[in-house]
């Protein structure tokens, strides 16, 4: 009996596998820098007043970080001055995270050669958490690469904001001691 090939299981032609892996890696690797900045912003806001409305500790997953940060940028004196420049990154990240989730938690389902469209499949819980459902994301390869590029552009700016947040955080530490 012949072993099934990975290419047949995925229904993706062999010549697209390498560019696909590069594009997926480009998004995943560059996403980590975006999320790392969000983690740092959460840390700073949490330790400068945000703990009062997040008693279980620092938010860990993306959705909770974004919710926490939106509230912190409205209600935490330390974070409020950074809101205007940070909130647009929360909005942009919320768009990219959908693709990131399909790449990290789903599988390549199909490749449509017309327009180089990739179809990713993901099995997820239903809203009531009692069953599973299949979800699909259709994405042109060029859009996938662009989302990785977007992460790079975002990170370049977010790092500068994080440095200013860090300066303000350290300055408050010195003032409090």
pLDDT at 5: 43
Q: What does the pLDDT read at residue 1?
A: 46
Torsion of CA 104, 105, 107, 108, to 10 degrees: -40
DSSP for 84-153? HHHHHHHHHHHHHHHHHHHHHHSEEEEEETGGGEEEEEEEEE-TTSSSEEEEEEEEEHHHHHHHHHHHHH
- What local confidence, expressed as pLDDT, does residue 175 receive? 83
Domain chopping of the chain, boundaries: 10-105+141-176
What pLDDT shows up at residue 10? 60
End-to-end CA distance of the chain: 73
Mean pLDDT by 10 residues, the chain (177 residues): 48 83 94 97 92 84 95 94 97 96 92 90 87 90 94 96 94 81
């Amino acid at each position: 009996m012949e072993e099934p090939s990975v290419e047949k299981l995925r229904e993706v032609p062999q010549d697209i596998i390498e560019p696909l892996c590069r594009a997926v890696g480009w998004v995943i690797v560059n996403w980590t820098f975006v999320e790392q900045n969000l983690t740092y912003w959460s840390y700073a806001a949490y330790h400068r007043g945000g703990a009062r409305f997040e008693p279980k500790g620092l938010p860990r997953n993306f959705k909770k970080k974004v919710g926490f940060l939106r509230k912190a940028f409205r209600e935490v004196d330390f974070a409020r001055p950074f809101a205007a420049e940070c909130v647009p990154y929360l909005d942009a990240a919320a768009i990219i995270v959908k693709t990131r989730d399909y790449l990290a938690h789903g599988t390549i389902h199909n490749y449509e050669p017309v327009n180089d469209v990739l179809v990713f499949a993901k099995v997820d819980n239903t809203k009531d958490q009692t069953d599973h459902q299949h979800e699909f994301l259709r994405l042109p390869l060029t859009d996938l690469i662009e989302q990785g590029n977007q992460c790079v552009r975002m990170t370049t700016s977010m790092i500068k904001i994080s440095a200013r947040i860090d300066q303000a955080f350290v300055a408050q530490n010195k003032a409090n001691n």
